[in-house]
Amino acid sequence: MLHAETFPAWRIHSGRRSNDWRRSGNIDNAAHAIANRATRCCSRLHHEGTARDRSTVSTPSTPRVESLKLHVSSYVGREGEPLLRWLVEVDTAITAQRIVDPLSKVAFAMACLGGRARSWAYGRRLTDPTCFSTYEMFKEELRQAFEPPQNEFRSRAEFLDLQQGNHDVHAYAQRARYLVSNIVTNPIDEATKVVTFMKGLKDGPVKTYLFREYPSTLEAAITLAMQEEFSPRHAKLHVNVPRPIPCPMVKPSGGPPTDGPLECDSCWISAASWANECPLFPTWKQ
């Protein structure tokens, strides 16, 4: 006959207690895992929402600088046509349109040529497609082809002997600027420019004022000369304004002399008024 093995009560109770501890430990671990997973999910959602908000917020963008298209006159290569002024126009237009590529600069300049200058440029390009590799080379060859021989020497000699004559200060200054701009290889120093410009002015208040101030640069001398010429001219305009002539003192027709205000015999305007108010002036009764 088999007898059931009996266990002490304390072993039974300790086994139950260990099972309870094991079961409670598993529950705690599962709870921690769920909590950690939920925390990671919430953190990921938070970061995604923050990134989405940042992407939707409009950031201030830098203002867009647009290119400006300027009109450039055509250079045809006529005798006496100022090549340097045309090159200044082309350089200004290239800067305004933000053309950076050297070949694009050459193409733009060639498109602004006309007449024999255009025929020369495209004829050179036809025989040698790589003739104008840079914009500076194009300008140099254009000067050699169309500037008169010894142009820089001629401009230097003319500037050093420049006189105002019957021209106003503005025309004299523009001529001085043009001649100085033609002297590129060996430029004239500023002191010589100022003295030459001041010496060429005709005798008068403008020349006296410049020799008293003695500016340091040619542009400063031109500015002072034009201001000084404008001031007397402006004052002269105010001084020479004709003043209205008062009506002559006439007696009313058909009556004895009176001590009251006299009137015009034709329009009966008071003699104290100006003559230009009378519609029949200068028909007056003597």
pLDDT digits (tens, 9 = 90+) for 230-245: 875 544 544 454 555 5
Q: 3-state DSSP: the chain helix, strand, coil percent, rounded to 5?
A: 60, 0, 40
Nearest to 112, CA basis, from 147, 140, 85, 152: 85
More confident residue, 203 or 45: 203
pLDDT at 46: 63
Average pLDDT over residues 71-97: 87
Q: Report the mean per-residue pLDDT for the chain.
A: 74
pLDDT digits (tens, 9 = 90+) for 21-38: 455 555 556 666 666 666
pLDDT at 268: 46
Separation CA 242–CA 102 (nearest Å): 61
pLDDT band at 2 (very low <50, low <70, confident <90, very high): very low
In whole angstroms, how far apart are CA 159 and each of 18, 204, 253? 116, 21, 72
pLDDT band at 286 (very low <50, low <70, confident <90, very high): very low
Separation CA 194–CA 184 (nearest Å): 18
pLDDT digits (tens, 9 = 90+) for 49-63: 666 655 554 555 556
Separation CA 193–CA 202 (nearest Å): 16
133-142, 145-154, 258-267, range with greatest mean pLDDT: 133-142
Q: Which tokens in the block code for residue 238?
A: 């105010």
